[in-house]
Each structure stands twice: as structure tokens, then as C-alpha cells.
Amino acid sequence: MTRRPEPRRPGRLPPQKRRVLTQARRQEWLVLGLRISVVIALYAALGSTQSLTAIWLKSLWALLPPIAFLTACRVERREPTPRFPYGFYRAGSIAFLTSALALSCMGLYLLYSALHGWLAGRHPSLTTIAADNVWHWPGWPILAAIAYSAAVPWFAGRARQRRAIALHDKGLFADATMGRVSWRAAAAAGLGVIGIGLGVWWADIAATVVISIDVLWHGLRHLRTATCDLIDEVPRRIGSNALDPAGRRIHDYLDSLDWVADARIRLREEGRLLTGVALICPHDTICDEPGLIERIDAARAEIEAGDWRLLDFELVPVGRRRWEAELRDR
């Protein structure tokens, strides 16, 4: 006789997802090391150009998301306590909010720095190509450091994005998709340095403004998503405004049960996991029959087994009077 597999404990990832999470953690350590090397390379080449200072500060910010992700992975593994009976699964949401807030503040600072430099009339002091031999121009090491800063996100890019989608980790996904921003920021900084070399001093300020607006736009977008998650917005697909299909799947399953007259689903995100409740209105004939509790327990077990992200899901039967009040409040 074949043994039935042991039911998955709520909150414990299935084996395949645990392997993906282990790979993601290892890759984040590698990404953190590479980003530290980028900060060192840019600092070594740092001159008086605002665009290079902007991309160096952005690279400093880029250290925060992997640190936040690795810290959240460690915190969320803690067992629930009497003080925190729901566990620590929202550590991922807090890490996402921290990264988004830091990115937004950095974008604002870079924009202020660029506009303040322009109003103050500061000009970068990098030697122009016309005043020096093109092969010995001091801007080449700066361009090499900028190119290296663009190569790192390209190296770590798509694999991180796939793992973020598999784990439904919004903080990791936001950081992985920032590779496009890094490319644009590096390109803008490079054009600013070349512009200075050609004697166009304002190219540096223009490049800094482009970088700051790009960083600020992505930061505010992620900040909005992280804030909505923490105030229990209806779960949405990762990287999209489309509704997560989990709620529709649960509703369709409950609607297929012959003893359920109607159901209303409420889901919210706890980090990468989901919790929620279904208010169900049983048929009047079922309410008078024995075994209603067993039916509810069986339906709950079936729902939790169908989605690895469900940390805790409850089915609450309500009477006809309360159900009609619920419908009026929609």
C-alpha cells in the first residue's frame, strides 16, 4: 500500500521552491560582492564630474537590496512566538519597502545635486580631449569604470528575475529589473564624461538629471507597490497591475461545491506568501445536516494544497442575514 505524502506545513516552502530560494540566496551573495567591487572601481576613478558621482552614489544604494533580501530570508525563517503569533513572513515586504524608500530618496538627492550645481554655475574640471593627447586623456579610466558598473547587472540579470518570479519575491524582482536602469545610468554617465572631454560642460549636468529622474521614477513606483502591500491591497501579479489569479481559483473551487451557495474571498500578502479568509454561505438544507464542519475542513485542506503560497486560509460559514449584509456593504 502506497503511503500518502505528508501534508505540507503552512509557511514551509515545497522542496522545489526551497531549492530556488537557496540558489537565490547564493546568487545574492555573489551580486553583493560584485556590487562592492563596482563601488570600489567607481570610487577609484571618481573625479569632479557630477554624473560619475551620481552613478557612484547609485551603486552605493544598490548594495541595500541584496542586504535587505538576505536579512529578510534569515528573519522569516524564525518560528512564531507568543509575541509574534503570525510569524515573521512580512520581513520580505519590509525589505522591499526599505529598498524602494532608499531608491526614491537617492533619486531626489541626485536631482537636487544636479540642479544646485547648475544654478551655482559649477563646471567640471576634467581635461578636455582638445587640450591633451586623445590616447592619454584622463577620462578613459573613468569610462572603463562606468562600463564595468554596467556589466555587473547584465551578468546577474535574467537568472535573478526568473528566480524572483518563481518565489514571488517583489523585492528581489524589483532589484533584478533595475538592470535596465543601470544600463541607462551608465550610458548617461558615459555620455556626460565624453561631453566634458569635448568641451561641453553642461553635458555632465544633463546626464546627472537623466540618471536622477530614472532612479526617482523607479523608486516611487516600487514605493507605491510596497506601501500598497503593507496596507493589504488585493494581491497582484509580480511586476504587473493584474490581479493575482489565486483569489479567482479559490472562488471557482468553492463555487463548484454543491453545499456552498456563495462565497466571498479576502486575500492579502505576507511577504511572498498569502493569507486570507473565505466567507461562505452554505445552502439552507446543508446547515441543518451533520458534517458541515468536516466539509469545511476538507475544503480548506484542498485549497491550501493547491497553492504553495497559502500560509493560512480560513473558511468561515455565515448565516443568510449576515451574508445579505455583506452584499450590501460591497
Q: What pLDDT is attached to residue 2?
A: 37
Grid coordinates representing 242 are: 493584474
Instruction: For residue 20, give every residue at least 6 positions away whose Cβ sits within 8 Å of its Cβ, in sequence order, or none.
Output: 163, 166, 167
Whether the predicted pLDDT of 249 surpasses 90: yes
Q: What pLDDT is attached to residue 5?
A: 40
Q: What is the pTM of this model?
A: 0.78
Q: Residue 151's pLDDT band (boundaries 50, 70, 90)?
A: confident
Mean pLDDT of 121-132: 56
* Separation CA 85–CA 77 (nearest Å): 14
Q: What pLDDT is attached to residue 136?
A: 64
Q: CB–CB of 320/281 below 8 Å?
A: yes
Instruction: For residue 158, give every residue at least 6 positions away whose Cβ sits within 8 Å of its Cβ, in sequence order, or none.
Output: none
Residue type, 155: F
> Residues 108, 157, 66, 205: what is their CA dihedral angle, to the nearest 10 degrees?
-20
Q: Residue 62's pLDDT band (boundaries 50, 70, 90)?
A: confident
Chain-centroid distance, C-alpha 187: 24
Q: What pLDDT is attached to residue 185?
A: 73
Mean of the per-residue pLDDT values of the chain = 79
Between 115 and 158, whose confidence is greater? 115
295 HSE (CA, 13 A, CB side): 16
Mean pLDDT of 212-236: 87
Between 195 and 261, whose confidence is greater? 261
Grid coordinates representing 287 are: 446547515
Whether the predicted pLDDT of 132 surpasses 60: no
Q: Which helix (H) or strand (E) holds 273?
A: strand 273-282
Residue type, 7: P
Query: Which tens digit of pLDDT belongs to each residue from 13-54?
Result: 888 888 999 999 998 998 889 889 888 888 887 765 666 777
Q: What pLDDT is attached to residue 7?
A: 47
Whether the predicted pLDDT of 139 surpasses 80: no
CA neighbor of 232 nearest in space, from 269, 190, 286: 269
Q: What pLDDT is attached to residue 8?
A: 47
Mean pLDDT of 91-108: 83
Whether the predicted pLDDT of 302 surpasses 60: yes
Least confident of 78-82, 136-140, 146-150, 174-178: 136-140
Residue with cell 564630474: 49
| Count of other CB atoms within 10 angstroms of residue 147 | 13
Chain-centroid distance, C-alpha 245: 19
Query: Which tens digit of pLDDT belongs to each residue from 169-213?
Result: 888 888 777 766 677 777 777 777 777 777 777 777 777 788 788
Between 47 and 6, whose confidence is greater? 47
* Separation CA 90–CA 112 (nearest Å): 33
Among 72-81, 122-131, 145-154, 314-323, the range with the most confident prediction by mean pLDDT is: 72-81
Q: CB–CB of 283/259 below 8 Å?
A: yes
Mean pLDDT of 237-261: 88
Least confident of 88-97, 211-220, 281-290: 281-290
* Separation CA 303–CA 293 (nearest Å): 15
Residue type, 9: R
